[in-house]
Amino acid sequence: MANPIQISIVIPVYQGEKTLPKLVGELNSYHQVQTTKLGNHYTINEVILVHDCGLDRSDKIIEELSEKYPIVRPIWLSRNFGQHPATMAGMASATGDWIVTLDEDGQQDPAFISGILDNAISKSLQVVYALPTNPPPHGWLRNAFSKLAKSIFQKLSGNVMAKYFNSFRMIDGEIARTLAAYSGNGIYLDVGLLWVSSRIGSFPVELRDEDRPSGYSYSKLMSHFWRLILTSGTRPLRLITLLGVFSLLIAFITSLLALYDKILGNVPVQGWTSLFIMISFFSGAIMLSLGIVAEYLAITMSIAMGKPLYVISTKPSRPQKTI
């Protein structure tokens, strides 16, 4: 039998104190050579747990799991950087032929990895996203917001692959490591994958119930969505041009209507009301445009100044107790 395909699992850990032991125990059972339905032999050669400095004692659990399971490799970040930078840090250190990213909450079933691998190999794909066949266990409002966010991004970026974005993904190891090595601060992982890969697909999976409530508040989700838009490229900047054209068109039509009423309709045109509306409208348009440009400049400055995407430490950063 040829050497089995090596698969690295990368899990960003923020609040995994209660969920990690069960999940890592499942993953450890795939350390022995497995055979997929299409006859591909694979093994999970490492489980990389990236400690993103959450508020619970995930660091202690990670240390215990690394002592219990030889395949567990801990990575300690110096502070909380966020899910995507933490995932990138894990990808940069992974050694597998393929890299699978998972959440810590247990809703993503490792049993589907074999099917995803078959799909990737048989179709010569570089990235395969898990495509849930059932709604995520987050509640209808959050699921609706997630669907809307992907739809907006797809319209703005013009890339139909946006609908597949999911934290459960399999990436060609070489592509994943290259992306992690060269990505700058503020990068959205899935947007980065669109930059460096063209063969992207999906595989149907069924999600399990979460073993704990989600750590994402609606404010964090909004920030997540905003970063997705800002890192999608320069296409959203075209909205400023379109807004300017639309504003000029409105001003032109308003002027024609005012002249028509004044000259032919003998209708007195009150100046203060129209002046107030026009000033408010154009002031809002200018401020919106400047705000979007400022956000882009902020990201550009972070990259130019060399702000790191993540920093790996040699020991865990203990969570601070709130007073």
DSSP strands (E only) in the chain: 5-13, 34-35, 41-51, 72-77, 98-101, 127-132, 169-172, 200-205, 312-313
Does 87 map to a domain? Answer: yes
Q: Are 204 and 294 members of one domain?
A: no
Q: Are 70 and 38 members of one domain?
A: yes
What 3-state DSSP class applies to 209? coil
Cα 150 from Cα 154, distance rounded (Å): 6
Does 321 map to a domain? Answer: no
Residues 110-119: pLDDT tens digits? 999 999 999 9
Does 323 map to a domain? Answer: no
Measured in residues, the chain has a length of: 323
CB 84 within 8 A of CB 187: yes
Q: Are 153 and 252 members of one domain?
A: no
Q: Are 201 and 222 members of one domain?
A: yes
Q: Are 63 and 172 members of one domain?
A: yes
What residues are paired with 128 via a beta bridge? 170, 201
Q: Are 228 and 142 members of one domain?
A: yes
Cα 221 from Cα 56, distance rounded (Å): 21
Q: Are 139 and 271 members of one domain?
A: no
pLDDT at 5: 97
Of 187-201, 218-232, 236-250, 303-317, the range with the highest mean pLDDT is 187-201
Q: Are 155 and 262 members of one domain?
A: no
Q: Are 221 and 277 members of one domain?
A: no
Find the mean pLDDT for residues 164-173: 92
Does 239 map to a domain? Answer: yes
Q: Are 41 and 133 members of one domain?
A: yes
Residues 60-92: pLDDT tens digits? 999 999 999 999 999 999 998 888 899 999 999
Task: Find, among 110, 130, 136, the residue nearest to 207 by Cα.
Answer: 136
CB 70 within 8 A of CB 24: no
pLDDT at 316: 72
The mean of the pLDDT values for the chain is 80
Number of structural domains (the chain) is: 2
Q: Are 41 and 188 members of one domain?
A: yes
Does 322 map to a domain? Answer: no
Instruction: For residue 72, give the CATH number of its domain.
Output: 3.90.550.10
CB 188 within 8 A of CB 84: yes
Q: Are 10 and 25 members of one domain?
A: yes
Q: Does position 97 have pLDDT exceeding 70, yes or no?
A: yes
Question: Which residue range is the domain that position 273 belongs to?
Answer: 235-304
Angstrom distances, CA of residue 232 to CA of 12, 64, 140, 220: 23, 39, 26, 18
